[in-house]
Amino acid sequence: MKLEIRDASFAYKSGKELYKNVNFSIESGEMISILGPNGAGKTTLLRAAMGLLNWKSGGSYLDGENVADMLPAKLWSKIAYVPQNHGRAGSYTVLQSVLFGMTNQIGMFSVPKEKEIRLAEETLEKLNIQHLKDRKCNEISGGELQMVMIARALASHAGILVLDEPESNLDFKNQMIVLDTLSKLSSEGVGVLFNTHYPEHALRRSTKAILIDHETVKFGPTTEIINEKNIESAFGVKAYIGQFETEHNMIANVIPVGLTSKDATKSEEAEDTDVLATLSIICGQFEESERINAILHEFNDILFGRMGMPHRKRNLYLISVNLDGSRKRIEELAHQLSLIPQVSCKVTYAKEEIL
Amino acid sequence: MMTTKNGSWKTRYILFLLLLPVVALILSLCIGRYVVSVSDVFGSILSRFDESIDVPKLAYITVWNVRLPRILLAFLVGSALSCSGLMFQSLFQNPLATPDTLGVAGGSSFGAVLALLLGFTLIPLQLLSFGFGCLAVFLTIMAAKGKESSMSTIVLSGIIMGSLFSALVSLVKFTADQEQQLPSITYWLMGSLQSATYSSLLIGFIPISISILVLFLLRWRLNLLLLSEEESCSSGVNMKRLRKIAILCATVATASSISMCGQVGWVGLIVPHMCRMMFGNDHRHLIPACISFGGTFLILVDTLARSMSAAELPISILTAMIGAPFFIFLMRKKGGWSL
Whole-number Å distance between alpha carbons of A95 and A72: 24
Domains assigned to chain A: 2-226 (3.40.50.300), 274-354 (3.30.70.1150)
Buried (b) or exposed (e) across A72-104, using 16+ Cβ within 10 A?
beebbbbbbbbbbebbbbbbbbbbbbbbbbbbb
**Above 60 in pLDDT, residue A271?**
no
The predicted pLDDT at position B162 comes to 92
Put simply, the answer to whether A93 touches B2 (Cβ < 8 Å) is yes
pLDDT (0 to 100) of residue B337 = 59
* Residue-wise pLDDT tens digits, A149-202: 999 999 988 899 999 999 888 888 999 999 999 999 998 899 999 999 998 899
Q: Which residues of B fall below an 8 Å CB-CB distance to A?
A: 2-3, 93, 217-221, 223-224, 226-228, 230-231, 233-238, 280-282, 284, 337-339
Are residues B236 and A83, on separate chains, in Cβ contact within 8 Å?
no
B218·A109 Cβ contact <8 A? yes
Residue pLDDT, tens place only, B96-146: 888 988 999 999 999 999 999 998 877 898 899 999 999 999 999 999 887
- Domain residue spans of chain B: 10-334
- Provide the β-strand partners of residue A283: A317
- DSSP sequence for A176-192: HHHHHHHHHHHHTT-EE
A185 vs A195: CA distance, rounded Å? 16
Instruction: Assign domain B10-334 to its CATH architecture.
Output: Orthogonal Bundle (1.10)
Flag if B236 and A103 touch (Cβ within 8 Å): yes
Which residues make beta-bridge pairs with A344?
A282
pLDDT in tens, B204-254: 999 999 999 999 999 999 999 998 888 888 888 888 899 999 999 999 999
Shortest Cα–Cα distance, B254 to chain A (Å): 22
Tens-place pLDDT, residues A208-236:
999 998 888 999 999 889 888 898 888 88
Nearest to B220 among A90, A91, A112 (CB): A112
* C-alpha to C-alpha distances, B77 to A36, B62, B252, B290, nearest whole angstrom: 56, 21, 12, 11
- Residue A235: which of A199, A270, A274, A287 has the closest Cα? A199
With 0-12 CB in 10 A as exposed, 13-18 as middle and 19+ as buried, what is A135? middle
Contacts of A83 in chain B (CB under 8 A): 228, 230-231, 234
Q: Give the lowest-confidence range in A251-255, B259-263, B330-334.
A: B330-334
> What is the distance between the alpha carbons of residues B140 and B248, in angstroms, rounded to a whole number?
13
Q: A319: closest CA among A287, A279, A275, A277?
A: A279
- Predicted confidence band at A267 (pLDDT cuts at 50, 70, 90)? very low
Q: How many CB pairs under 8 A join A and B?
A: 88
Q: Are the Cβ atoms of A52 and B235 closer than 8 angstroms?
A: no
- Alpha carbons B201 and B5: distance in angstroms, whole number: 37
Strand order across the A17-27 sheet: A17-27, A2-11, A57-62, A65-66
Interface contact B218-A108, CB threshold 8 A: yes
The string of pLDDT tens digits covering residues B252-276 is 999 999 988 888 888 998 899 889 8
Q: Which residues of chain B neighbour A108 with C-beta distances below 8 Å?
A: 217-218, 221
Q: Which amino acid is at B5?
A: K
Burial of A271 (0-12, 13-18, 19+ CB in 10 A): exposed
In this prediction, residue B336 has a pLDDT band, given cuts at 50, 70 and 90, of low
Chain A from 131 to 190: CB within 8 A of any B CB: 134, 138, 156
Confidence of residue B1 (pLDDT cuts 50, 70, 90): very low
SS3 assignment, position B146: coil
pLDDT digits 0-9 by tens, A1-28: 999 999 999 998 888 888 889 999 999 9
Whether A266 shows a pLDDT value over 50: the answer reads no
Residue A91: its chain B contacts at CB < 8 A?
280-281, 337-338
A127-to-A92, A178, A181 alpha-carbon distances in Å: 19, 10, 7
Residues of A in contact with B339 (CB under 8 A): 89-90
Number of DSSP helices (H) and strands (E) in chain B, helices first: 15, 0
Instruction: Give the global pTM.
Output: 0.83
Q: Give the bridge partners for A211, in sequence order.
A: A35, A218
Confidence of residue B25 (pLDDT cuts 50, 70, 90): very high
pLDDT 10s digits, B268-303: 988 998 898 888 889 999 999 999 999 999 999 999
Q: What is chain B's length? A: 339
Taking CB atoms and an 8 Å cutoff, what residues of chain B touch A73?
A: 236-238
